[in-house]
Amino acid sequence: KYMDKLANRLKELRRLSNLTQKDVSLKAGLSPRSYQGLELCETQPKLSTLIALADTFNVSLDFLVGREGDFKDSLYKSKSDIL
């Protein structure tokens, strides 16, 4: 269940920031395939990966995994802020 929420949040944050999967993976220090696996619910992330992704999008870990808030409450970064 949390993996589905995580995957949906990652896709939506990436879409709202106008980034590619490769953009996000490079900024978060992941391989493009590892990041793709997260969006497809194929990979169980390490805590360090979740922290890197939360930092990349400027959101809390709770928000990233769907435990709190929604997109209207979140402060996400635009592509120019991330890259």
H/E segment holding residue 62: helix 61-64
Q: What is the mean pLDDT of the chain?
A: 87
In the chain, the percentage of residues whose pLDDT exceeds 90 is: 75
**Torsion on CA atoms 83, 33, 38, 78, rounded to nearest 10:** 10
Which pTM does this prediction carry?
Answer: 0.81
Q: Which of 3-7, 12-16, 17-21, 66-70 has the lowest mean pLDDT?
A: 66-70
Residue 40 banded pLDDT, cuts 50, 70, 90? very high
47-66 residue pLDDT tens: 999 999 999 999 999 999 98
